[in-house]
Amino acid sequence: MPRGRSTFAKRQKEQARQQKQRDKNERKTMRKQDGGAVDPLDELQEMRELAAAQAALFQVGSDEELNSLSPLLERGKDGDQ
């Protein structure tokens, strides 16, 4: 019996959550081993990468979404509110 799209999305979301948890635990153990010497720039870069991966997973900012918002953005620029 084929699974629906929502089941696939739920499974993907759960796998992403588990991976995020594993990564977090790994960073935590690394910090403990290093004695807390974490470079803020490296941490910032890692957070950006995680945010980009999460946005890609949930397709935030897709073309369809931007196209549907374009009339609202145009109206806001003109000041016609």
* Mean pLDDT estimate for the chain: 77
For the chain, the structural domain boundaries read: 5-78
Structure tokens at 66: 């931007």
- Cβ proximity of 16 and 57 under 8 Å: yes
Taking only the tens place, the pLDDT of each residue in 16-39 is 999 999 999 999 998 888 876 667
Q: List, for residues 41-50, the tens digit of each pLDDT value.
A: 888 888 899 8
4-29 as b/e: b if 16+ CB within 10 A? eeeeeeeeeeeeeeeeeeeeeeeeee
Q: Does 63 have pLDDT greater than 60?
A: no
Q: In terms of DSSP H, where are the helices of 35-81?
A: 40-58, 63-78
The residue that leads in pLDDT, 71 or 32, is 32
